[in-house]
Amino acid sequence: MQNEKPNWHGTTILSVRKGGKVIIAGDGQVSAGSTIVKHNARKIRRLSNNVLIGFAGSTADAFTLSERLEEKLERYSGQLMRSCVELAKDWRQDRYLRRLEAMMLATDATITLMLSGDGNVLQPEFGVAAIGSGGNYALAAAMALYETNEDAEQIARKAMNIAARICVYTNEQIILETLDVKEPPEKTFEKTDEI
């Protein structure tokens, strides 16, 4: 009999940017194999410099990445794009970081980014982005609701509830964080459309 670690399944994290607000929403379920371990885990964080993050995957790995991102934000004067690119470089090149099993959504008042361990830093084309086991369900629902009169929070809540009805690793214990959206500042780093 092999001694295997339990298969920890992720979550659903969704970001919606609309009408002067950006929201990151996450569900609260943590599962180990077919067992629900926790119903109200907090998978979104507000970092210094008015940055919101949401993570899917191993909790310890996600905390490691959020600490690293916070260090980068301090080093690069709160520039989210540059900080995420530098974190992704480290994540891909560092032997320890390469083993981390997590994905992250990071957003500030001007930009939303998806980060993964293979070095990707992606800016979604539209005002929505999602990661995790129920991410595709939440993304599809949010995109369908985006053209309605619903605001960012209403879209996020409805899309997350739809994902919870479809994905067995997502529940309806939704936690939201909100930032006011501002006009983008003058760019001080590479053009975002090249990433």
64-115 pLDDT per residue, tens:
788 889 999 999 999 999 999 998 888 777 665 556 667 899 999 999 999 8
Tokens, residue 161: 């509830």
- Please indicate whether residue 188 is annotated as part of the active site: no
40 burial via Cβ count (<10 Å: 0-12, 13-18, 19+): exposed
The active-site residue out of 11, 12, 107, 170 is 11
Q: Helix H segments across 79-188? A: 80-93, 95-98, 135-146, 152-166
Q: What is the pLDDT of residue 97?
A: 58
What's the DSSP call for residue 34? T
Set out the domains of the chain in order of their start, with CATH numbers.
9-184 (3.60.20.10)
